[in-house]
Amino acid sequence: MEILHSREQEQLTTFENNMKTIDPQKPVLVTGGSGYMASWIIKYLLDQGFTVHATVRSIHNRAKIQHLLDMEHRSAGTLKLFEADLLRENAFDKAMRGCELVIHTASPFRLTGVKDADEELIRPALQGVQNVFSSAYGSTTVKRIVLTSSIVALIGDTIEIADLPNKKVDENCWNTTSTISHQPYPFSKTIAEREAWTLSKQMDHFDLVVINPGLIFGPSLSKRIDSTSISLMIQILSGKFRTGVPKGAQAVVDVRDVAKAHIRAGFTPQASGRHLVAADLADFLDIARIIRKNYPNYPLPQKHVPKWLFKLIAPLLGYSRQFVERNIGYDFKFNNTYAVSDLNIRFTPFEKTVLDQVDQLANDQLIADKR
Ligand code: NAP
């Protein structure tokens, strides 16, 4: 389905040449294989002829796995699916057998609509890390774990950036202000990543490399729309924000670049530490401006709404007033230079990211085609 551009071929060749510590003949485990971002990791690995062990919650849920099976048919690689729930002890033992590289992406990603944060976000994120590390500890083969964390493990609220030593978010930062009641998703990612670093110090026969992506956009390989990155784009297109959006740029990045960053983190022997993988800054109005160029007929937002007004209606949209107070109207600044150099990343222009995503949603008839 996807033809690699020459730039991407060149990038993938570079990481192939770097494969020194991880044996490319050995299977690679990708957890959360049916997810939006993990599906791209699996696709790139299969296209390069790897054997991929992917964990999913149910191997019988065709709606979640069919695109993976189709991808395998079109690729040079081999895919083996295993069932694993983050909350179940030893769930990853079988899938990890024979693997030298584990890419642990599975973790719930929900920004709104959370009723029980402990149950829905925190326990799966934390216990997932504990169970994956415990299986790796028990294995004789694992040499490296690449963990999908998030930029939200670096910083909790945008208001805090002005107090940082360099006034920019980078890999030296830790989110110290999110809690189970204020920003539970960032809290889940922060404690899960902290646990991973603690465990990796105790388990010295494999190392840990962490990817901290910004807000991810770009085309999906499946027709699922329940992933937050996809539902956010559908909300922008559906008119939910037609009366206006709050001012507040996010660090954004293309899903394909994040997937490649994980693979590079796995196969680049010298890769180490945390990696802030974000390309640009954009808010919903910037995204609407890009979409309007090719799709003028969607009910897209046209202006910013004042902070006081957004604060008033925020709970109706699933955001707390405290979140609005501490995040809207402040400049988000970040420094991605370490990730770019350590993982040799070249980012996709954000305009292409957005338009490719809208094209995919329209072509797959997940939204009305209003070109
Ligand atoms: P996604 O499509 O919702 O993927 C999340 C994956 O986690 C899914 O495969 C899901 O399984 C799996 N999962 C959730 N709870 C589980 C459980 N109890 N047991 C086993 N698997 C479970 O979202 P995504 O955007 O691809 O997220 C992938 C990773 O990137 C997550 O760690 C997320 O925190 C991180 N991240 C995402 C963004 C972003 O903007 N999208 C930004 C930074 C970091 P099902 O397929 O069965 O639902």
DSSP string, 332-360: --B--HHHHHHHT--PPPHHHHHHHHHHH
Residue 17 has pLDDT above 70, yes or no: no
Residues in the chain: 371
Report the predicted TM-score, pTM, of the whole model to 2 decimal places: 0.94
Q: What is the pLDDT of residues 217-250, one digit of tens each?
A: 999 999 999 999 999 999 999 998 998 998 889 9
Q: What's residue 316's pLDDT? A: 87
Checking if the pLDDT of 16 tops 90, the result is no
CB of 37 shorter than 6 A to ligand 1: yes
Q: Is 278 in the pocket of ligand 1 (CB under 6 A)?
A: no
Q: Is 57 touching ligand 1 by the criterion CB < 6 Å?
A: yes
Closest residue CA from atom 31 of ligand 1: 107
Measured distance CA(31)–CA(24) in Å, rounded: 18
Tens of pLDDT, residue by residue over 172-193, are 999 999 999 999 999 999 999 9
Q: pLDDT tens-digit profile of 286-327? A: 999 999 999 999 999 999 999 999 899 889 888 899 999 999
- For the chain, percent helix, then strand, then coil, each to nearest 5? 45, 15, 40
220 lines ligand 1 (CB under 6 A): no
Give the mean model confidence (pLDDT) for residues 162-167: 93
184 lines ligand 1 (CB under 6 A): no
CATH of the domain spanning 6-216+254-277+333-348, picked from 3.40.640.10, 3.30.300.30, 3.40.50.720, 3.40.50.150: 3.40.50.720
Give me 272's structure tokens. Answer: 């180490």
Of the residues 30, 34, 37, which should be mutated to test ligand 1's pocket, given the most ligand atoms within 8 Å of the CB?
A: 37
Closest CA to 157 of 326, 362, 367: 326
Tens of pLDDT, residues 61-84: 999 999 999 999 999 999 999 999
Percent of the chain with pLDDT over 70: 95
Q: Is the dihedral of CA 205, 99, 211, 246 positive or negative?
A: negative
Tens digit of pLDDT for each residue in 92-145? 999 999 999 999 999 999 998 899 999 999 999 999 999 999 999 999 999 999
**For the sheet containing 280-282, what is the strand order?**
215-217, 250-254, 280-282
CB 218 near ligand 1, within 6 Å: no
Q: Is the pLDDT of residue 149 over 50?
A: yes
